Structure 1
């Protein structure tokens, strides 16, 4: 029986907290605004100018925009890393094409074994923020073959150096996608965003304190815009998890056909 790894999917939990917390804040503010017992005290808050909302609202919007940019930037970097990894595997094949069969075939087999391991073994594990030792071992095997000094004579020093560069590019691209898959939500950043969101809701309530119904409508409209947006950003925290999983197709295309 497999257990669900909550640590690997913490951003879904934070998204749920964002939605539930916003709903509770709306409910609490709505009850306070509608309560006759609090109305005399709230009346003393009247007079705050409506443009005051813009100051806090802009701070909230900028904070959420920066957090969203971090998330989508990580997704773009993951796509770039996968594409670079696949291109480097292609380059290795092109650089070794002129080698004798006895020398070329082990390298081609190592490239194919790495691509198979990366796609079939490591890719599913990236969603759980785990790297596959088998893929690291396959890459180490490829690097060992490419670093063989005996390749210097048939390839030439310049081509051999380029071959090593491309193998190192595969390693760097893999390291980057593994690192991006292991990025967790920063609770302090999102706590600051949540605090600004709540203060924005308070400012909306204060500005409309003389009109409880209008205040409640304004609060609900803000919540309807802010909470789902924050949740959408949060659930995309890992570029190798649904709903925006980075595809392994570029590397899968480098898997040699079955004989």
Structure 2
């Protein structure tokens, strides 16, 4: 198994464990460490100061989450566009003689079948099927051949070629979205802002131990799962939020 294809699960675990360790370390430093008394001399930090760093952290996490949701939506739209283009090719093939129409239907069905059986499982591993690529090339070659061109009205043939081009573009986009990796630098920046927010919370409550423990714990309980949820959805073709191959399966129905 290519563990690099599942790196976002590892980063999600790091986010959970790292936040817990950071919270424990912060509370130990401010309450139990040899420097605790010295740190308490910095009491008096104004609570509104917490909002400055907190807002920056929240915005950074929101932008990262938005990137993830957008990738999922783009993948879903791309899959439907690809399947719809294949349906359009089959619909336009009604203008062809029975033998040519059967050849087009078979080529479309072969591509849809290999996409479901081989291409889709590979997307979760950030790979793609060469066989699916070959079947798509065969479909393009068939539609651009002289036999199909001669048997189809000019306008319908141009539309068929436009649709198969759309299939190629959508497949390329689908594969590109499946190969998106977590950007460690973005998440490192978010983690740094999160830690600064935790320091701000601790310093605002530095002279109230019980309030400090509660505030830091609540922040950790809110930030860590949220970051983990965003991270585990880094690939739209992996669980828990999977873009399925259902639009292609419908092409295989009689």
Fold shared per TM-score above 0.5: yes
C-alpha deviation, 1:256, in angstroms: 4.5
**Separation in 2 of the partners of 1:144 and 1:10?**
38
Within the alignment, does 1:242 sit opposite 2:239 as a pair? yes
Within the alignment, does 1:35 sit opposite 2:26 as a pair? no
Give 5+ residue unaligned stretches, structure 2: none
Moved more, 8-17 or 91-100: 91-100
Match of 2:101 among 101, 104, 114: 104
TM-score, scaled relative to structure 2: 0.97
Within the alignment, does 1:203 sit opposite 2:204 as a pair? no
Give 5+ residue unaligned stretches, structure 1: none
Aligned residues: 254
C-alpha deviation, 1:175, in angstroms: 0.7
**Separation in 2 of the partners of 1:154 and 1:36?**
84
Deviations 1:47-66 (A, max 9, x none): 11000000000000000000
Match of 1:128 among 122, 125, 128: 125
Moved more, 237-246 or 154-163: 154-163
Within the alignment, does 1:252 sit opposite 2:240 as a pair? no
**Separation in 1 of the partners of 2:47 and 2:224?**
22
Moved more, 248-257 or 224-233: 248-257
Within the alignment, does 1:52 sit opposite 2:33 as a pair? no
Please provide the CA RMSD for this pair.
1.1
Within the alignment, does 1:75 sit opposite 2:72 as a pair? yes
Aligned partner of 1:169 in structure 2 is 166
C-alpha deviation, 1:42, in angstroms: 1.2
What stretches of structure 1 move > 2 A for 4+ residues in a row?
36-40, 149-154
Within the alignment, does 1:17 sit opposite 2:46 as a pair? no
Kept in 2: contact 1:112–1:256 (CA 8 A):
no
**Separation in 2 of the partners of 1:154 and 1:134?**
28
